[in-house]
């Protein structure tokens, strides 16, 4: 029945700064891909602000609750408050305007929109206005302390739960109409206050009743991430209780990470509630070639044939988009199939469709990529852990799930197809991406040489490997990325500034955008989680870190004093923070010839 698309996190990692033109392209792509169920989350803070003001909160209490634009996804799930905020009034106007157009376009193309609903989280100001309200603080989230997390959760039995939830939804429906499907996540990566099944049932029942209070036909769409994220807490009794607090059939669960950690298998198909088999694939919008094609090719069919299966659709739920297009094309196609595909022949046709012409070298390159980077098996979690995009240390992970030589060979084959396919924009994008992957592999090799040289006190070798990495490979990678508009830091930063209506807003939005892809918090709380390989970022952030690391190692060998990671971390934090506040404007227009730069890298570095 459903082909679902979008992850709540993508609203921040990818869509945060989109204007209508960019949204329109995405929605058209969704229609062309057969997507018929998707969230429409823009503008909800404007409606929440109206509700909070009507309940008696003042503006400073609201400002202490909302995060900045680049972090709203986690504010909406009760993980985070205040960080990088507040939201300027103009932000609300612009987002409302977008939301009107988004829902209008989605509905005109036959899609069912999913609107946000109340999950139970409230600003602290509610306790001032209603001193008798029964609310408890949740614990801290991730590596944030209570300065920016520990959000209040209303008790499900408190009458205010229904008042606030129904008030919000009525206001939202008045504004945007409804297709009767609503999203709410009360315990996303947050441990509930009690593991008592009766309590958990009361919570889900309260959330559902606050929906039906505004819309008797309400259907609750819930992410199933929590069950696999905290399996120690969510034992079968707890899962069943949460799911059965809602009448059977009135909830749809997104089995969010089904290609690696399916939940339906150990919950008897979500104990009777319908579910959507989702491919998560990407975390944080990281670049890096990756896929689990075998799991994707067989998973949805296994789920349909599961005993008493309640599967009602397939879904794509990456945390960030604009990477690994092939995997999403494959998953979209599987939504229409009755059985698994013959992948090598599918990918051969994919290359032809993508470039607009058959080419033997390009087809061979794609078959190599299919069997290597795109064929991770077992429990695969795609966080890019390459030393390139991680804070340097002597204990970095360089493990690969594939044969590195397959990527080098695919690189050679793509370059050889350049004469015929060089006029295809999709080909140039893929050439950048595969060259970038090869460079990422080379960074690991140089890192291992640096570490080896340091540990065996070989100063000349250390200077050699460190010098090539810092002064040639990373700058060359940066110039490659800078030659393509989709790999520019400036595109991300300028789209943030374009959302602003004043210099002050532009500055706030740009700091939001810079912080998200680097420190992710005031003190590197979720450091490099949302790492990207972008022209500008490689040179002024990653390369500067590597330069400091190499010079600290050289200094250690010269002075005979041991290398201390803690001391290095303090020094490198200043570099990381310095990037966020460097005030430099990065070009949003590419420069340089992609084919030429890739060939130059190839002639220098092809192993």
Is the pLDDT at 378 greater than 90? The verdict is no
Is the domain of 428 the same as that of 303?
no
- C-alpha to C-alpha distance for 602 and 600, rounded to whole angstroms: 5
Taking residues 471-490, report their average pLDDT: 98
Q: Is residue 410 part of a domain?
A: no
DSSP 111: P
Is the domain of 317 the same as that of 377?
no
Is the domain of 127 the same as that of 249?
yes
Q: Is residue 194 part of a domain?
A: yes
Q: Is residue 360 part of a domain?
A: no
Q: Is residue 365 part of a domain?
A: no
Angle between helices 293-304 and 325-334 in degrees, nearest 10: 20
pLDDT 10s digits, 6-59: 999 999 999 999 999 999 999 999 999 999 999 999 999 999 999 999 999 999
Is the domain of 187 the same as that of 283?
yes
Is the domain of 494 the same as that of 565?
yes
Is the domain of 380 the same as that of 320?
no
Report whether 70 contacts 84 (CB < 8 A): yes
Is the domain of 276 the same as that of 389?
no
pLDDT band per the 50, 70, 90 thresholds, residue 224: very high
Is the domain of 147 the same as that of 246?
yes
Single residue among 324, 341, 358 that ends a domain in this structure: 341
Is the domain of 37 the same as that of 101?
yes
Q: Is residue 487 part of a domain?
A: yes
Q: What is the pLDDT of residue 379?
A: 83
CA dist list (Å): 586 to 171, 489, 490, 499, 597 = 41, 7, 4, 17, 20
- C-alpha to C-alpha distance for 268 and 237, rounded to whole angstroms: 12
Neighbour-count burial of 20, counting CB atoms closer than 10 A to its CB (0-12 exposed, 13-18 middle, 19+ buried): middle
- C-alpha to C-alpha distance for 132 and 413, rounded to whole angstroms: 69
Encode 577-595 in three state secondary structure.
HHHHCCCCCCCCCCCCCHH
Is the pLDDT at 382 greater than 90? The verdict is no
Q: Is residue 413 part of a domain?
A: no
Is the domain of 333 the same as that of 379?
no
Q: Is residue 190 part of a domain?
A: yes
Q: What is the pLDDT of residue 381?
A: 84
CATH code of the domain in which 436 resides? 1.20.120.670
Is the domain of 117 the same as that of 210?
yes
Q: Is the dihedral of CA 380, 438, 342, 255 positive or negative?
A: positive
Is the domain of 232 the same as that of 299?
yes
* Average pLDDT taken over every residue of the chain: 98
Total domains present in the chain:
2
Single residue among 318, 341, 364 that ends a domain in this structure: 341
Q: Is residue 289 part of a domain?
A: yes
Angle between helices 197-212 and 236-244 in degrees, nearest 10: 20
**Residue 315: what are its φ and ψ, rounded to 5°?**
-150, 155
Report whether 441 contacts 404 (CB < 8 A): yes
Percent of the chain residues topping a pLDDT of 90: 99
Residue that is written with structure tokens 């060939």 in the block:
599
Enclosing domain of residue 392: 373-404+419-605
pTM over 0.95: yes
């Amino acid at each position: 029945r459903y082909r679902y698309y979008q992850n709540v996190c993508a609203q921040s990692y990818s869509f945060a700064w989109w204007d209508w033109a960019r949204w329109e392209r995405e929605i058209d792509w969704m229609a062309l891909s057969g997507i018929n169920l998707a969230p429409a989350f823009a503008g909800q803070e404007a409606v929440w602000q109206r509700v909070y003001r009507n309940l008696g909160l003042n503006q400073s209490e609201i400002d202490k609750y909302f995060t900045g634009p680049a972090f709203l996804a986690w504010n909406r799930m009760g993980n985070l408050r205040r960080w990088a905020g507040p939201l300027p009034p103009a932000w609300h106007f612009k987002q409302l305007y977008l939301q009107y157009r988004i829902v209008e376009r989605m509905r005109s193309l036959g899609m069912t929109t999913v609107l946000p609903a109340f999950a139970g989280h409230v600003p602290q100001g509610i306790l001032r206005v209603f001193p008798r309200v029964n609310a408890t603080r949740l614990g801290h989230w991730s590596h944030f302390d209570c300065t920016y997390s520990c959000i209040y959760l209303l008790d499900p039995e408190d009458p205010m739960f229904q008042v606030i939830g129904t008030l919000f939804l009525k206001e939202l429906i008045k504004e945007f109409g409804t297709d009767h499907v609503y999203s709410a996540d009360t315990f996303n990566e947050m441990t509930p206050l009690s593991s008592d099944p009766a309590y958990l049932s009361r919570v889900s029942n309260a959330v559902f009743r606050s929906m039906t209070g505004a819309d008797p036909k309400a259907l609750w769409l819930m992410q199933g991430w929590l069950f696999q994220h905290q399996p120690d807490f969510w034992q079968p009794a707890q899962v069943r209780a949460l799911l059965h607090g809602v009448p059977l059939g009135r909830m749809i669960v997104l089995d969010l990470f089904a290609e690696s950690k399916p939940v339906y298998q150990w919950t008897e198909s979500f104990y009777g509630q319908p579910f959507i088999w989702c491919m998560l694939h990407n975390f944080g919008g990281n670049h890096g070639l990756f896929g689990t094609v075998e799991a994707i090719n067989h998973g949805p069919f296994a789920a349909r044939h599961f005993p008493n299966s309640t599967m009602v659709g397939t879904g794509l739920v990456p945390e960030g988009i604009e990477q690994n297009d092939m995997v999403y094309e494959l998953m979209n196609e599987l939504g229409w199939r009755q059985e698994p595909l013959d992948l090598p022949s599918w990918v051969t046709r994919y290359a032809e469709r993508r470039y607009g012409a058959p080419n033997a070298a390009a087809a061979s390159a794609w078959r190599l990529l299919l069997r290597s980077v795109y064929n991770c098996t077992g429990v695969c979690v795609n966080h890019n852990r390459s030393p390139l995009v991680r804070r340097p240390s002597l204990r970095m992970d360089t493990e690969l799930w594939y044969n590195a030589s397959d990527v080098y060979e695919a690189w050679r084959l793509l370059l050889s197809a350049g004469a015929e396919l060089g006029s295809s924009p999709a080909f140039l994008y893929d050439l950048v991406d595969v060259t970038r992957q090869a460079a990422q592999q080379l960074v690991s090799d140089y890192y291992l040489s640096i570490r080896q040289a340091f540990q065996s006190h070989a100063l000349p070798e250390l200077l050699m490997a460190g010098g090539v990495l810092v002064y040639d490979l990373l700058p060359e990678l940066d110039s490659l990325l800078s030659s393509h508009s989709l790999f520019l830091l400036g595109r991300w930063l300028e789209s943030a500034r374009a959302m602003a209506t004043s210099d002050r807003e532009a500055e706030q939005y740009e700091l939001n955008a810079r912080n998200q892809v680097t420190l992710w918090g005031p003190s590197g709380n979720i450091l490099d989680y949302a790492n990207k390989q972008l022209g500008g970022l490689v040179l002024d952030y990653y390369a500067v870190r590597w330069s400091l690391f190499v010079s600290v190692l050289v200094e250690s060998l010269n002075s005979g004093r041991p290398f201390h990671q803690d001391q290095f971390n303090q020094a490198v934090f200043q570099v990381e923070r310095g990037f966020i506040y460097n005030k430099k404007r990065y070009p949003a227009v590419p420069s340089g010839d992609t084919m030429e730069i890739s060939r130059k890298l190839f002639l220098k570095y092809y192993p």
